[in-house]
Every structure is written in C-alpha cells, then in structure tokens.
Structure 1
Amino acid sequence: MTIVNVDPFMSEELFQHIWQFRLFTQSGLTTLEGDPVQIDHTGQLNRHAGPDFTGARIRIGTTLWVGNVEMHLKTSDWFRHGHQYNLQYRNVVLHVVFEHDMEGVSTHGIPVLQLQHCIPRLLLQRYKGLWQSAAYVPCAGSVQEVSSLVWTGWKDRLLIERLEQKTVLFRSWLVQTQYNWEEVCYRALARGAGSPVNGEVFLALAHSLPYKLLLRHQHDQGQLEALLFGQAGMLGMGRRAGDDIRQGDVIGGMPPDKRRNLGEDEVDLMVSNGCLSIDKGVCGKQVLPGITDIDTGTTSREKSRIIPDDYMVYLQREYAYLRHKYKLAPLDEQRWKWLRMRPASFPSMKIAAMAALLHHQRRLFSAMLDAPDVKHLESMLSVSPSDYWKTHYRFGKPVRRTSMPGRTAVHNMLINTVLPLLYMYGKEKKDAVFQEKIISFMGQLPAEDNHVMRAWKALHINAGSAGETQALLQLKQAYCEQKRCLQCAIGAKLLRSGIA
C-alpha cells in the first residue's frame, strides 16, 4: 500500500465544491485503468445519507453511465466508511478521489478517477488564505473585487435567511398555541421589548398573563398596568417585607460619554463615582431608583423598601383583586436587570409602553396585518404611556419629565420582531405577494448603526437600509465567523475567479 499525505487544507467539503463547479482540468481525464472520462453532468449534491452526488452523467470509454458519484480524499476511505457493505452505494458509477492511496485500480469494480493533479494550485492557495485569515472577514483584502450585481443578489438571499432564522422560535409558539397568531404576536412583542437584557423575563411575564386574559381588561389602561406591574413583581406584593436588593439589580456604571444625550432628570438616576445622585449626599451605598435608603449605617431593612405613592397604591389595590380573581402568581422582582441601562429603557418604562399598546390596539396582530406601509406600523408602536410615566421612571420617584425610547427602539422592534413575524405569516399562508411586501418594508427602514456595520463600512461595503444591514449581520455571523466561505456567494466568487 502506498502512503499518501493529503494537503491539510483540502477537505471533503472543498473537494465536493471543486467537483460541483468543475474547478479542475477536464481534458485528458482517465480512470486509473486508463479509460477516458468525459463529464456530461456532475450530478446534484446530496446533503442526505448516501452517495455525494446523484443523477450524474459520466461517459467512461464508449459507455454513458447515469448514476451516483461518491467522493473521498483517499481511495481507502471507501472501505474505511464501509461503503462496500451499504446497498445505497450499489448505483455508484464513479469513485472520485483526490489521492489514490491503495494498490489496485478500482473499488469493487467501480472505476476510480484521481483529481489531485488536475486541481489548480492557485485555487488551493486562495482557500488556504481564506481559512488562515485573521481579518474581520476572511476575504477583507479582496472583498471589493466582487461586482455589485453579485452583492445585490447575495444580500437578498441573506435577508431571507435571517428572517427565517428569527422565526424559528415564533413557529414553535405557533404550534404550542394551536395557531393563535394574536398570542404569538403578544409573546414576540413582549420578548422584543426586553431584548437583549430582559427578553426572557418579559417572555416569562407574557406566559404568566395570557393575551386572552389581558383582552378582558383592554378597555382600562390602569387595570392593564396593575396586571403587568403586579405580575412583574414591581408592586411590592410578591416578595417578603424587607427583602434585600441584590447586587445584580443595582443601576449605574454608564460612562459619561453615554450620558451626554440624557436629560438632567435622567442623569440624576445614574451612578456617579459609585454614588447615586437621587438623594444628594447619600454616598457609599448603591440603591435602586424608587428605593429609599437614607441611613447607610442602619440595621433596619424596612428602609430598603419602595415607598408607595398614590398611583402605586391604586395599582396595588387593583392587582390584589385581579390576582385573587385569576389566581395569579407574580414573578420574582429580582429577576429584572437594571444595570448599565438608560432610564428610558428601564423595564418599568417598557412595561408601561406595553400596557399602552395593549390598550390602544385590541387585536395587535390583525392591526399589523392590515398596515398599508411601514410608517403605519411605526406609528402603531409609538404609543405614549399613561400620564404617571411621563414624570416617573420608577415608582415613587418623580422627575420633571421622562423620555420614552425613540425611533431607533421602534425600528429595532420592527426589524427584529414585527417584520419577521409578518413574513412568517406570509410563508405559512403561502402568500408570496405578502412576503415581498414585508421584504420591501425592511428596505424602507433606515440602516442600522452598530459596530458590525461600521466594520463593514471600513471595508467599503455599505448598507442603505435595514434590509441590507440585516443581510450583512447574517453574513458576518453565519458565514464569516464560521469560515463558511464555500457557501458564501462572495467567497466562492473570489475562490473561482479566473479558474471556473
């Protein structure tokens, strides 16, 4: 037996790619027995069990064979994989190998074609360069060489792929709820309101308060707030008196450059040098906004409790009745995270906004389906909370005015939750026109600004809409970071340039 060392950067995936796109010299091909080989059709790549390519048309000598092709880096892999005992391989008409490492010229009568010396070294060098690249994306040095036409088509495919990826969880909820689209929409919006920090806690809140229950109180925004804040454990009715605040709920740590766009009242809620500025002169102990703790040396735990105001007392009273009526069990308040967060993004503000949305739209999903354009969806989500939350970020701590999450937050909800959900609806209903409408909505939203997009821009790859930024995010996360250059239209184009 001859021992042959395979190029360490040659993989079965690359070898299959080379065969599929004919990236090898096709003239003068012969089997190990010397019979001439002409490839009429390489076959269809098989991603399931069985031979690698099916339905190939291969002319060997004077005979045209139609059947399957199996590929290995070494001839001996046929026996190492036990194909000689597998009936799925009985219709293999050609065994294609990178290197022949066995004595003899066939595998159980199946002709062997060796391609080692037919593959351009330039192709292997390019692949090695992509695989070893430590740049932001493997093809950073040559990505600008790809035409805009290739980029446009690839971005369109990536956007669809990302939409599909975002709906996996939604689809599981659809099955769980027996195709209750309104409930699924409610859960999705709740999770989206808390993402990325409090998404799962918001989802737990939604599970504890089914949408059909909230619909009974849709006419009364106060009752909606009582249910949501009560179930969230923020009314002080779900924990024992005097329970300590855990370190994970401390607010602060936002650097000065992140605070420059905050109002004076918001800055007063942030930690400065390890000290909250809510109560001037109180330093050395971090406490939550809405929590009073004047004497840092006291042993009394009562001083760490929220001091209710009139509105909180009203919500407590409403929740006490509704909790008994529906036999509700509130969440643990300590599950909510407040650290390093703008006041406008506090869970309390997101819950207030959700209550307002539920109050103004009785059938959320139906209203979204009927939206004529993306501006209508944006307006639907841009609801103002009740008056109390226009002067409070937390219970019991008034400020002159609050600021609600702006257009960027609304756009994020549309991009990551609403539009993927609507796209899934179109796919479930097999309505291609509706799906195209949702894709066009994504193209009407402004491009996202984040570190990934800034890195792409540095490579002179720009995005003019949210649809394009979502495509580039998918490219970076699902292809570049995984070194899936062979499945990437850009990577494959660069790999095959001047060869195929």
Structure 2
Amino acid sequence: MQEDFLHFIWQFQYFNRQQLLTTASESLHILNPGLANDHAGPDFSQARIRIGNIEWAGQVEIHIKSSDWEAHQHQHDLAYENVILHVVWHNDKPICRKDGSLIPTLELKERVNVQLLGRYNYLLANKNVIPCASLFALVPDIHKVHALDKALMQRLQYKAATVQELLAVNGQDWEETTYQWLARSMGFKLNAEPFLQLAKAIPLKLLQKHRDNLLQMEALLFGQAGFLEEQSNDAYVQSLQKEYKFLSHKYQLAGTKLSVGQWKFAKLRPVNFPTLRIAHLAALLQVHQNLFSLFIHTDTLHAFADILAAPPSSYWQHHYTFEKETKITSHLGKESISNLVINTVVPILACYAQQKDKYAYIDTAIAWLESLPAEDNYITRLWKELQLPVKNAFDAQASIELYNIFCVPVKCLSCPVGVHLIKKSQ
C-alpha cells in the first residue's frame, strides 16, 4: 500500500461511502473532501464532514496506519491541531490531540474495490519503462490527449520558473536573462552548464562595451572559457591572448574563469563543438543588440534563422577548434535552430506571459511548438511504438515530460492515462 494511493482514493472518493462510521462507531458523512495540499502540513484543507449531528470544517490527514501519526511526529506539530478526520488504510492505534481528545478516524481497507487496488498494484509493480505499456491500447484517445496537454503545461511552467529564477538574480533584466538563456541553449545538452556559467562570468553589458570590436568580444568569451591558457604559434590565438590579458586585468575577471576541462567535445558533431558555438555567440551579439525583443516578436522559423545567421569571424569559417584548419560548415542547421527555438524562445515566452499576465505569449509558445518538427530520440520512439502520435515539437516535448514526470517515478495516479486505467477496474 502506498500513501499516494490513499490520497487518490480520498480526493476522488473512490470507496464505499454507504453507512460510514468512524473507528469509534460514530456516523460519518463527507460533505467536502477538501483541497489537496502539496506543501507542509495536513494533506487536505477546507474539508467539511458531519460526525453524528455536528458539522466540522478543517483539515484531513492521510496515513497507511494510524500509528504513522506518531511516527511522523505530528503530535508535536501545532499545524495538525485542526485535523478533523484521520483517514487511514489500517487503524492500529487510537490517536489523540494534545488536549487528550480522540481524533476521529476513518479506516478504508474494507471499503476499497479490490480490483481498483489490484490495477494500481499492477502498474506499480510493472517493470516496463512505461508502466501502462501493455494496457495503453485500451485507453481512449481523449485521455492520451489530456495526458499530453497536462505534461506540456507542466513542462512550460517548469521552464518558465527556471527562467524566472535567472531573471530574479539579474534584477529583472530581460536582455541579460535572454543572453544567458541563449548561451545555455547554445551549449545544447552536454555544454549547457558551462555555457551558462560563461555567460554569467561575462555579462552582456560588458560585451556590449566592445561591440565595435569582434576580436575583443571573442577574447573575453574564449579567455573566460579557459581556451587561451596554452602557448600557441597561431597568430589569431596570440591576438586573442593579448586582448584577453589586457581586458581580464581591466575588468578583474580572473576569479570567475572556467577551466578547459569543463567543456565536452566527445560525442559531439564538430559543428556543435563549444569553440565554434562561442564564436557564433560572439558574432550574434555583435550584430543584434536587443535579443529579448527580437525573440518574443519573431514568429516564423525563417525569421529566427535570419537572426541566428550572423556569420562567425573568418577564422571560424575554416576551424572547428583552435589551430586545426579544415573545411567546415559553420552555420546552424535546421535541427539546431529548431532546438534553440524550443529551448530558448519558448521558455522565455512562457516566463514573460506569467510575469506580465499576458497569456497571448503562451499561445505564441504553443504555436511555435505545433509548427516545429518532432525530435527523434529514445523517449519519443518509445511512445511511437505504443502508437502515440508524435507529430510535432508539441507532442515530442509533452511525451518527454510525460515519461520523465509520470512514467519514470511511477506516478500513475497523477497521470490521466493511469487514472483512467485504475478507475476502469471499478
């Protein structure tokens, strides 16, 4: 038995409510089960019940065993003094308040449909990476769509909250935050964190002081990234080192320098090497001064590609890394541009919508996702094998979130698909 299951049973009242009695044999009527509480304190608030002829309003606490009340030390917590009903699977001990009065208790173990419990236990014990995989075909499309919509909105809220944290650190400076978030996204998965660290170490305002000199912008970024530490016979590298030595001393940058070991090159295509992406970022920031405004008002992939089309300096037209010259493709491909929209523009739009109560920007974010192609990865392929259509980036992002927040932790009770399957057994 899991406490989450009891929460589910109580919240949706999936138990036999005929002739309810407390463990003290008092008649019990549930007028309102209350609102689920995701924070500290009792599990449900604003509940209303009637015991005998007296109506009570207050909180409800859920446990597997009544003795868990003491195991969790609730008897010492004033937040639990207003609990009007203790809902348990098994009543193994009477529980009292500090004043000695008995807390009314409802035992559920004889009131829950065994098939309901059996289906839940089946999902819980299933070893498939998607617990409901063998039953997924039985689920009507409406519940699958509901699950995707719910997962996508949670993903947007999470990403918006992450941008919001960065925005707060940056004193509500949207341009600085957009620059940092873009840098993070340009690191893609492997180099996201060092790129973000680099952007924090070299603020946008500092780079903008040197917009008339791309070499100095590159020197600040490459030097702070830790790529200019070794002696070199390459004239371009020597120029960067000379500029960085002067600028680092001028702006006292030594304390926030990254080490070259923080950057990942293995398993990356050369076009995504961090050296080339840093050069690309410098060029982009030289050409465009107001990225935030551009990002929230750009609504086509072609227009966004034009923003990102700023070519890196001539050295990086022939190099993926320092010194080793080669014929290269330095521009971002369509897939990379789509990923930058998904991971940069969409979260910023979602955050801005929440911050300013302008929810038209959420519609814009969703429109972006619906217009972009779906990612092809391990998770999206799992869903396709179950015949879940993954037609665009909306479906892909939603299915990834569905897998990560519901399937991996086996939170079937929070998933519309899982809830449908469990209820179906009633």
User: 456-465 or 363-372, which moves further after superposition?
Assistant: 363-372
Contact 2:42 2:60 in 1 (8 A): yes
Residue among 328, 352, 362 paired with 2:279: 352
- The one-letter code matched in structure 2 to 1:156 is D
- Aligned partner of 1:296 in structure 2 is none
For residues 453-468 of structure 1, the aligned pairs below 5 Å read 453-468=380-395
Q: Provide the residue aligned with 2:44 in structure 1.
A: 53
Whether 1:130 and 2:123 are equivalent positions in the alignment is: yes
- In 1, are the aligned partners of 2:119 and 2:425 still within 8 Å (CA)? no
Greater helix fraction, Structure 1 or Structure 2: 2
Unaligned ranges ≥5, structure 1: 1-9, 242-305
Greater displacement, 446-455 / 463-472: 463-472
Q: Is the 8 A contact 1:226 1:319 kept in 2?
A: yes
Instruction: Report the secondary structure of 1:460's partner residue.
Output: coil
- 1:232 matched to 2:159: no
Letter of the 2:318 partner, please give it: T
Question: 2:112 matched to 1:186?
Answer: no
Q: Report the CA distance between 1:169 and its aligned residue.
A: 4.0
Aligned equivalent of 2:18, options 27, 50, 62: 27
Q: Distance in 1 between matches of 2:7 and 2:240?
A: 65
Letter aligned with residue 197 of structure 2: A
**Count of residue pairs the alignment pairs up:** 422
Query: What per-residue deviation string (whole Å, max 9, x for no partner) do you get for residues 343-380 of structure 1?
Result: 11112211121122112211211221232445423432
What is the rounded CA distance, in whole Å, between the counterparts of 1:99 and 1:361 in structure 2?
65
Q: How does 1:288-367 map to 2 (within 5 A)?
A: 306-309=232-235, 311-329=236-254, 331-367=258-294
How much does 1:111 deviate? 3.7
SS in 2 for 1:141: helix
Asked if the contact 2:66–2:94 (Cα under 8 Å) also holds between the matched residues in 1, the reply is no
Of 435-444 and 380-389, the range deviating more from structure 2: 380-389
1:174 corresponds to: 167
User: Is the 1:444–1:465 Cα contact (8 Å) retained in structure 2?
Assistant: yes
Task: Render the CA deviation track for 1:60-88: whole Å, top value 9, x for unaligned.
Answer: 44444444333333334445555566554
Asked whether the 8 Å contact 2:115–2:425 carries over to 1, the reply is no
Structure 2: runs of 5+ lacking an equivalent: none
1:415 to 2:342 alignment: yes
Q: Alpha carbons of 1:191 and 1:51: their partners in 2 closer, same or farther (altered >3 Å)?
A: closer
Matched with 2:410 is 483
Q: Distance in 2 between matches of 1:328 and 1:91?
A: 56
Larger radius of gyration: 1
* Percent of aligned pairs with the same amino acid: 39
Displacement after TM superposition at 1:430 (Å)? 1.7
The RMSD of aligned alpha carbons is 2.8
- TM-score w.r.t. the length of structure 1 is 0.76
Q: Indicate the larger mover: 59-68 or 140-149.
A: 59-68
**Counterpart residue number, 1:263:** none
Q: Aligned partners of 1:25 and 1:342: how far apart in 2?
A: 60
SS in 1 for 2:366: helix
Question: Equivalent residue for 1:4?
Answer: none
> Equivalent of 1:119, from 108, 112, 134?
112
* Change in 2 beyond 3 A, CA 1:404/1:489: same
Shift of 1:141: 0.9
CA contact (8 A) 1:442 1:465 kept: yes
2:149 corresponding residue in structure 1: 156
What pairs with 1:133-144 in structure 2 (closer than 5 Å)? 133-144=126-137
In structure 2, what is the Cα distance between the partners aligned to 1:219 and 1:104? Answer: 74
Counterpart of 1:146, as a letter, is V
Contact 1:392 1:402 in 2 (8 A): no
The answer to whether the 8 Å contact 1:33/1:105 transfers is no
Q: CA deviation at 1:34?
A: 4.1
